[in-house]
Structure formats: structure tokens, C-alpha cells
Structure 1
Amino acid sequence: MPTNRKVLLVIVFAQFCCTSLWFAGNAVYHDLLLAYDLLPSALAHLTTAVQFGFITGTLVFALLSFADRFSPSKVFLVSALLAGVFNLGLLYNTNTLFSLMGFRFVTGFFLAGIYPVGMKIAADYFQQGLGKSLGFLVGALVLGTALPHLLKDLTATISWTSVIWSTTLLSFLGGSLMVLLIPDGPFRKKGSKLKLQQLGGLFKHKDFRMAAFGYFGHMWELYTFWAFVPVMLFTYYQKIETTPTYTSLLAFAIIATGGLACVCSGYAAQKFGTKKIAGLTLALSGVCCLVSPLFFTTVNEILFIAFLFFWGAVVVADSPLFSTLVAHNADAKTKGTALTLVNCLGYSLTIVSIQLIAYLSTRIPTEFLFMILGVGPAFGVLALVKKRSNTK
């Protein structure tokens, strides 16, 4: 049996490699517009297609209890290989918006066998310090999500197709490392086929419901923020009449900052409590939503970028903590299914928020657009506060 340190290192690296597929299409968005003659609105549609695929995948994985009935590492491998293959569909010469959305959908579908299954594998190895472990794991997801923006910047003089090939090969590598180096964990309990009534039963537990509602509020904001970081940068630089060449690098750095924040929040949770740190970071990201108009109107570029870095950190720092709360408050035999189902519902909300922001972007000024995202953190914080008041 490998040591816990080695296990965590492999899971984190594999997660990083495979989740680079998530925003591969977003990173080369402008190239896709030119290559396939798409309208600017395609950004929201392609992002939504990945999210909808992930939602569908998590629902199927939850109903069939793949992560509880079969070896999670093998589920991870198969998902990584298939997600990587369909990612290559973006290179098909005669793509239309519909076919691109189809490839993004299927890639998202198999990401359901990567992200929540990776958390399940971590939960099978770590009972003590799970929050810290998931902090590293979600940090890897954040870095993987941001990576295509960095690849785009580094390959500015090379064809955009190199970004797609690179992320696919990374996914193959991550899946292979997982199955070769990580056997089933010591705390894994093999589950049986899920009965539909068990899904509703998960939310009868008050602590589980509190954790899930907090996570839902967090998800309302997170992926919409990530998807629109390039738009925020483009809008701001248009206002100050500047056209820097480093926007892809900035987008990578802003999103990637959240990876370090996840690790820090995991350590902070060990000292101050998981629920307390989750509530604090969720509240801070909500404040960022509300005050964002003030920073969009500043002419001080450093101040604006610093604000986005701070927002990029707190917007995701609570993610591993809510996943920890969900895992701790779920039955051991359905832990994988519980994590997958909560992911499914949370990512469903991202579709609504992404499409809502895309719809409103042509109707209200961009500087006021992202205040709407504050609804999610407010809902999540209320769920935590209500639970705390109920326990007094």
C-alpha cells in the first residue's frame, strides 16, 4: 500500500492533468470563432455544453453508483481516456457550433468520472485531515482549469491546435498514473447498486443538507466567474483604451491563484474549523460580486488586477471545504454517490448563471453585470448561519 503522501501527490497531479480539458475550448475561444465562423455568443454555449455534459455524467454515475461499485481508479482511467479522445473533436475540420457543443458535452460527461471520483479516492485514503487533502485536490482542479490559458499564451506563435493536443495527452497521462499507482483505499467500502429512494434520503440529514446548500451557493458564482474572466479583462482594457498582449497569461494567473487559496483554506480549516472558514471565504467572494462595479470604473490597472486576483482566490477557496462537509456527513457506502450527486446539482446551477450573465450582457453595462453572482454566496451563507443558529 503506498504512503499517504505518495497517494496525495499522485491524485493531485492526475487531477491537474485531466481537468485541463475543462476550459480547453475557452482558452482557444477566439481561434474557434475564426476557424469555424462562429458568433461571439458561442462562448456561453460552449461553456454550457461542458457543464451540461458534466451534469448528465454525474447523474448517470450517481444512479449507477460507478464510484462505489467499481474500483475508483479504473473508473478514473476510463473516463480520462474517453474525455481526452472527445476533446480532440474540436480539431475536426468541418465543425459547426452544434458539433463543437456535442464534443464539449461528451468531454464534460466523462469529466464526471474524474473530478468527483478523484475526491472519492481521496476520501477512501484520508479520514483525518480530509479537508487539507481536498484542498490540494481542488487546487489541482483549479490549476488544471487555468492551464489552457497558460498554454495559449505560451503557444501564441504556434497553432491553437497545440493546446487541444496538449490537454488530451495530459489527460491520458493522468488517468494512467492513477490506475498504475493508486490501488483501492483502506477506508473504501464497496457499495451496491443505488436505489432511487436513497437519493432523496441523502438530503434528510440536516448537516448534509447544510453542506450541500453551501456548495450550491458557491457554485452559482464559481464557473461563471471563471468563464468570464477573459471578458472582464477585455472589457476593462477597452474602457482604458489599452490592448495588452498578456491577457491570456493574466486569465491563467487569476484563475490559478485559487489553487493556492484552496491549499491555504484546507490548512486554515484544520485550525479554525471547516464550516467557519468555508463561510468566511464564501462571504468574501459575495462581497467581491457586490463591489465589482467600483473596480471596473477605476483607471488604475494595478488596482483592478489586484481585485481580480483576490476574487479569483476567495471564489474557490471554500470548494474543498464544502466537499469535505458533504463527505463527512454522507454514509460511507454511498459517499462516492453523494459527492457525485451534489456535484451534479451544483453544476446544474452553473448553467443557469452562465446563461443568465450571457443574456444580460447585451442589456446592462458589464460593470454591473457580475453583482448578480452575489445571490449564490448570500444563499450559501444563510444556509450556514441557519444551521449554526439551529444548533444553539
Structure 2
Amino acid sequence: MSCWFSASAVVPALRVDWGITAGQATLLTVAVQLGFVTGAVTSAALNVSDLFPAHAVVAVSALVASASTAVIALTVDSLAPALLLRFVTGMALAGVYPTGLKLMTSWFDRGRGLALGVLVAALTLGSALPQLVSSFAALPWRGVLVVSALLSLTGAIVAWLLVRPGPLARPAPPLHPRYVLTLFTERGPLLANLGYFGHMWELYAMWTWTPAYLAASLAEDGSVEGSRTVVGLAAFTVIGVAGVVGCLGGGLLGDRLGRARVAGWAMRVSAACCLLAALVFGQSPWLVLPVLLLWGASVIADSGLFSSCVADVADPRYVGTALTTQTAVGFLLTVATINAVPYVVEVAGWPAATALLAIGPVAGAVAMAKLHRLLTEPA
């Protein structure tokens, strides 16, 4: 997953080398999101993750993501080919993340919330790794992308050699493209998906723009220089370290107290953090960083729980299709919020932009409260 934000992490250098604007640089992330959506929709319609060996799908997809990232690092000198390759990267990652979720569900019935929390923690840490790598100021932007490509290649090798479906895996079902529609007509899957969409409204916009928010807030305060190293390490800590803690804590509590209930709690906390981030912008880093750390933990704590909820209420034969559909629509929604943030910042400033993100988790918390009641009603 380190390929996801590999280009986003080196945007300042790319703007200098390629002479692109901030809006054009945003397209480097948007291209990945759109590629992911395209790959996920195609996979869901064809039931790819249910018809082919899941570990092979992950391995081949990770290999393609690695190759497309390496090509940018080694040969690309302008925006247009980079966007195409970032789109390919997104399509490839659509074969990694949802399929990985399906693989994990094949190993766990009890404790599934924590198991998926561990997997989402890996997604979180992988997504944040380019921020850590880019904090080494002596490493050029091409080197950051090469490191990300090598990490993805390592993941492909591990998946191919060591990963296998678990004992709960089911035989490949018949092709059933219309099952995708069922996910939006049955109450259980619909509520789980609505909660996830509220979560995605906030998540990737927060991950994408946290470094820029940090840099702008530090510049506003003036007490600490917002160097590449400082911003990179702080962003990695907020997104990666705090995110891993949130994933594991959310998964553990979800298994004990109810996955839909805990997901709703996490969304309430992350919504509050959106508003707190607006209030503390430009204040002392000792005030800003704790808010961002809490936000980094709560914004992702519910992610594995949504996947687990869908796995619990969907047709067991088509869990892979259900998870892929969920992520496809969710990532399409991220395109809107990732693009909206810089425009809101330009018009109304960072406080308004972070407050805007609270809309998603507030709506999602309502859906998860209804799902919790549905799941706990007597049969």
C-alpha cells in the first residue's frame, strides 16, 4: 500500500521539477482514487475476487502497482504520463485491499473485527510510509518512489509465496453481477455501506491534506519551522502510528462491544476532531498535534469494522464482491472531498475545510446506530 501516497508525499518537489500548480498536483492523488474505483467496479461486476485464487490476485496486483510506480521514478518527467501511471496504480491496488479483506475473513469468524483491524492497520501504515521516507531530506523524490515500489514488490512476493485462503473460504460461486444491486436494497448491507461512505467522505481527504494542514498551521504559528523533515515525521506519526493504534483498538473493542456500535463511537470522535482541528489551526504545535493524533486514530478506527459488518450481513458466497463494491463507491466519494478541500481553503481557509469533513462521520454515525439496533433486535 506504500504506492498509494508515494507521489502525493513528494508533491513540493514535483511542483518545482515539473512546473505544475497545486491543483494539478492534486490530480496525482485523484488519479489513484479513480483508478481504484475503476478496478474495484470491474472486479465487483466480474466477481474477480470470488472466482480466482485470492492470494494470486493480491500478488499480481501488488506487482503491477510496484511496476507502475517504478516507471514514474525512473522515466517520467511530466504530469500527463504520471497521471496515467497513477491511474494504473489505483486499478492495481483495487486487487490488493478488498481481496486482502476477503482473505482475512476466510481465516477468522470469532475475533474478525480485530483481524480486519490488523489488516487495515497495515493499510494505514503502508499509506503513511511515503511520508516517513520523504522526511529524509537528502533523498530525492525519485528515490522516495523507488523505495515505495520496492516495498510493494516485497508485498507481492509475500502474498504469492506465503499467503493462502483460510479454512472458512468457500468454493468459487457462479458469476452473479446483479448481486451488486442487492447490497443497496437489503437493509443490513445498505446501512453498513452508508456508514462506510460517511467514513470515506472524511478519511482520504484527511490523509491527503494533513501534511499541508500541518505546514500551514506551523507557518501561521511561527514557533516551529515547518521543514520537510518536521512535516514528514509529524504526518507519518499522525497517519501511520496513531492510525495503527486506532485500528487495533477499534477492532478489539468492536469484537467485545459490537462492531456497529464501536464504529459509530469512532465516527463521533473523528467528527469532533474535524471541528477541533478547525479551532486549533495556527495555534501552538503542542495544541495542534494532540488533536491530530486523536483524529489520526479515530478516523481509521472504524474502517475494519465496516468491512466486518458487511461480511456479517452479506451473502457468504459473495463476500469478496460485497467488500469490493463497498470500497469502490467509497473511494469514488473521496475524489469529491480530496478536490473540495483546496478550494475551500482558498475561499474560506483551513478551519472551514476541516469542519466540512465532519459532515461524513456525523451521517455515518447515524447509519451505524441504526445498524446496531438491527443486528441486536431479537430474531
My pick for the range that moved more, 201-210 or 140-149, is 201-210
My pick for the range that moved more, 240-249 or 265-274, is 240-249
Correspondence 1:90 to 2:72: yes
Q: What is the RMSD of the two structures over their aligned residues, measured on CA atoms?
A: 1.6
Residue in 2 aligned with 1:49? 31
TM-score (norm 1): 0.91
Separation in 2, partners of 1:191, 1:78: 19
1:193-204 equivalence runs, <5 A: 193-204=174-185
Separation in 1, partners of 2:158, 2:233: 28
Separation in 1, partners of 2:49, 2:75: 36
Deviation at 1:194, TM superposition (A): 3.3
Correspondence 1:250 to 2:234: yes
Separation in 2, partners of 1:377, 1:30: 30
1:291-330 equivalence runs, <5 A: 291-298=276-283, 300-330=284-314
Deviation at 1:366, TM superposition (A): 1.6
Q: Percent identity?
A: 35
TM-score (norm 2): 0.94
**Which of 255, 277, 290 pairs up with 1:270?**
255
Correspondence 1:350 to 2:331: no
Separation in 2, partners of 1:221, 1:65: 28
Residue in 1 aligned with 2:160? 179
Residue in 1 aligned with 2:114? 132
Deviation at 1:284, TM superposition (A): 0.7
**Which of 269, 272, 277 pairs up with 1:284?**
269
Correspondence 1:230 to 2:215: no
Residue in 2 aligned with 1:10? none
Deviation at 1:42, TM superposition (A): 2.6
My pick for the range that moved more, 20-29 or 194-203, is 194-203
Deviations 1:28-65 (A, max 9, x none): 11111122111122332111111111011101111111
Residue in 2 aligned with 1:157? 138
Residue in 1 aligned with 2:40? 58
Where in structure 2 are there 5+ consecutive unaligned residues? Answer: none
Correspondence 1:141 to 2:126: no
Correspondence 1:376 to 2:357: no
Q: Residue type matched to 2:127 in 1?
A: T
- Contact in 1 for aligned 2:247/2:304 (Cα 8 Å): yes
Residue in 2 aligned with 1:7? none
Deviation at 1:185, TM superposition (A): 1.9
- Contact in 2 for aligned 1:220/1:373 (Cα 8 Å): yes
**Which of 208, 213, 219 pairs up with 2:200?**
219
Correspondence 1:105 to 2:105: no
Deviation at 1:205, TM superposition (A): 2.3
Deviation at 1:124, TM superposition (A): 1.0
Separation in 1, partners of 2:372, 2:52: 37
Does the residue aligned with 2:346 lie in a helix, a strand or coil?
coil
Deviation at 1:388, TM superposition (A): 4.8
Separation in 2, partners of 1:277, 1:192: 32
Correspondence 1:81 to 2:66: no
Q: Residue type matched to 2:259 in 1?
A: T
Does the residue aligned with 2:90 lie in a helix, a strand or coil?
helix
Separation in 1, partners of 2:34, 2:13: 23
- Contact in 2 for aligned 1:84/1:168 (Cα 8 Å): yes
Separation in 1, partners of 2:47, 2:371: 29
Where in structure 1 are there 5+ consecutive unaligned residues? Answer: 1-18
92 and 338 in structure 1: CA distance in 2 versus 1, 3 angstrom threshold: same
